[in-house]
Structure 1
Amino acid sequence: MSDTLLRQWTMLRHIPRHPRRISVHDLRAHLAEQGYATTERTIQRDLLELSGRLFGLSVDDRSRPHGWFWERDAAQLDIPGMEPQTALAFKLAEHFAGPLMAPATLSALAPYFQRAEQVLGDKSSPVSAWPGKVQAVTRGQTLIPPSVDAAILDTVYSALFDDRQFHARYRRRHNGTEAEYVVNPLGVVFRDGVVYLICTINDYDDIMQLVLHRLLAAEPMETPARRPDDFDLVRYVDEGGLNFRLSTEPLGLELLLEEQTAFHLRETPLSQDQATQVERDGRVRLSATVADTAQVRWWLLGLGANVEVVNPPHLRNEIAQALRQAASRYD
């Protein structure tokens, strides 16, 4: 392969996709960094020649300096060509991880997704049938995810990526009133179709959760986000931050379970210190240390007659009272 072809291929890989642009001057700097010393005149000549042969390579000649870019829907140029297994990986990523991606990320990956669709369209390949053989489901009742305005989502993700504040107008849950905040984004968590923004607001240090579908407006700001030094998103989630934590003290659970429920919890334990023991009446006594959250209570209530809370006593009384109130609805 000639040096000219290698240089041109390297140059094409540095050209961004619309709406971003790159000047001939910047392309020359990129090429020099990779050992291809050339002149701006040569690069300009190459670009003009290639733009006539490659559909989707364009120049904005109204800007100064002129900016070169790939059209938004231009086919992805890649060597070697996409293999069926690679196409399958992109297809599965689009299907299962697409909802987790920022709009800018989805836009950048769109040509790969399109190419994957074309590769998997070849019915002669056994890989083409694979997407129809894979599904992911939740254990709970399936709910329709709320919609989030694409422009708002893009502003939030950009602020999170760049560690910048943004100004938000938000509809509160408890009374439906609107509030305005300066938001310091710390992370996002996806749960059952709902996107939670973990953040602080204004000058407060308390960690908050804003659900993105209640954001009515979001405007970017240039000021850096205020990020607590000791904040860690993984630790926040692991310690029950998203489960409406009710206390900083853990719960030492002791439960009596029907065998079918205990079997499930042996395979997917509640905690690392979980222990079980079969009782004389056939039920299974389970002990585990968990975070003290509202989620634990909802889970116990959902098990109904398959569980009896033994300890701690205050939780046993809470669950018993809730079940009495529920039963009274049917009297």
Structure 2
Amino acid sequence: MRADRLVSLVLLLRRHGRLSAARLARELEVSTRTVLRDIEALSAAGVPVYAERGRHGGFALLPGFQTELTGLNHDEALALLVAGSRRGAQVFGLGSALASAMLKVADALPEGHRDIAAGAARRLLIEPETDLLSRRAPAEEVPDAVAAEIRRAVFAGHRLRIRYAAVDQAPKWRTVDPIGLVTARGQGYLLAARSGEDRTYRLSRVLAAEELDEPAERPDDVDLDRAWQERSTRFRTGGDQVVVLVRMNPARRKELVDTALAVLAEESDEDGRLRLEVSFQDARHAVWALWQLGVSAEALAPEWLRASLRDRAVAIAARYET
């Protein structure tokens, strides 16, 4: 939206002093021609923006120009600056909105605190893209148009038509009553009802969405945290659960426990290794979890799991035979 972009342009000039058209275009994710048109629009509206010629030239505001934004104290602004989750914003299609909001937060600080807060925020990194082993966190790919349509239906309380690709199924259209949006570990979910039954949809599996012009059948108020916990409990206790007996290196215990549904029994062997009886959502979940642990863990039972892991290992070994 142009009005938001014009505000962001002014805030960028206030924060950095002077910027080239190319730099403004990169920051605002538009063309340099659009930036030049926006500069003209600001000048026509009375904003004192001027051009400086030369190699190090660009656009700047006259000294002392102030925008009318509500101020925040130091701690409030710092909390917002470091808490703005890029991953969550991208999942819900709000990446550009987050960038614009962070500019406004920084600009709203009292002048004497602005540099202090910005410097403090640079000392804090929340949820980097990779861990110390350069492993990337799972990334959700949700088209902005799809995310925007889902958001509109959720906030307006309208029914939603989605084309959803469930696991191992062909995509198909379905009409749902949206309740809320949740992001967990970088993955987005739509909580909804369908024919009166609770449903949870992965946003990355929604291929298309259409807000309908009819009210959703949902309660006026919702405790989204409670709804999420209830659905999580049902997910962990439902399905074709399997129980696995594992013997493993205790140093890798946390990895297994974090991915398993529950630890049903545990004891130590004489050599210091652990024996755990754990449950998984289904067979595929069990195979995946044990494979991640490599030689640090051995599935003792059931036999079909041992056979599945053995077949995988044999196939990998055959691939590397010379």
Give the TM-score category using the shorter length: 0.5 to 0.7
Which digits, 9 at most, give the CA deviation of each residue in 1:131-182, with x for residues without a partner? 343232577942673443333322212322344311234456647x653321
Counterpart position of 1:196: 189
- Residue type at the aligned position of 2:303: N
1:135 is matched by which residue type in structure 2?
Answer: I
* 1:237 correspondence with 2:223: no
For 1:253 and 1:293, locate their aligned partners in 2 and report how far apart those are by CA, in whole Å.
10
Deviates more, 1:215-224 or 1:287-296: 287-296
Which residue identity is paired with 1:182? T
Distance across 1 between alignment mates of 2:89 and 2:291: 33
Quick one: distance in 1 between partners of 2:254 and 2:175? 48
How far did residue 87 of structure 1 move? 1.6
1:128 aligns with 2:119: yes
- Give ranges in structure 1 of 5+ residues lacking alignment: 1-16, 19-53, 56-73
Cα deviation for residue 99 of structure 1 reads 3.5
Determine what percentage of the aligned residue pairs are the same residue.
Answer: 18
SS of aligned partner of 2:77: helix
Whole-angstrom CA distance in 1 between matches of 2:291 and 2:203: 25
Quote the offset at 1:273 in angstroms.
6.2
Choose 1 or 2 for highest CA Rg: 1
Aligned length in residues: 246
Aligned to 1:261: 252
Aligned 8 A contact 1:169 1:216 in 2: yes
TM-score (norm. length: structure 1): 0.56
Contact preservation (8 Å) 2:93, 2:143: no
Q: 1:157 aligns with which of 151, 159, 171?
A: 151
Distance 1:93 1:265 in 2: 30
1:91 deviation in Å? 1.2
Map 1:103-182 onto structure 2 (within 5 A): 103=94, 113-118=102-107, 119=109, 125=116, 128-137=119-128, 141-142=135-136, 145-170=139-164, 174=168, 179-182=172-175
TM-score (norm 2): 0.57
| Structure 1, 146-155 or 131-140: larger mean CA deviation | 131-140
**Corresponding residue number in structure 2 for 1:326:** 312
Alpha carbons of 1:225 and 1:152: their partners in 2 closer, same or farther (altered >3 Å)?
farther
Query: Which amino acid in 2 is paired with 1:116?
Result: V
Q: How does 1:208-247 map to 2 (within 5 A)?
A: 209-212=201-204, 214-225=206-217, 232-240=227-235, 246-247=239-240
| Counterparts in 2 of 1:317 and 1:161: CA distance versus 1, 3 Å | farther
CA distance in 2 between counterparts of 1:322 and 1:76 reads 65
* CA distance in 2 between partners of 1:192 and 1:299 (Å): 17
SS of equivalent residue, structure 2 residue 142: coil
Q: Which deviates the most, 90-99 or 113-122?
A: 113-122
CA distances 1:285-327 after superposition (whole Å, capped 9, x unpaired): 23456655743442222112211234xx4xx323212212112
Output the CA distance in 1 between the equivalents of 2:137 and 2:125.
20
Question: 1:258 Cα shift?
Answer: 0.8
Instruction: Rate the CA distance shift 1:225–1:75 in 2: closer, same or farther, 3 A.
Output: farther
Alpha-carbon shift at residue 89 of structure 1 (Å): 1.1
Give the 3-state SS of the residue equivalent to 1:133 in structure 2.
coil
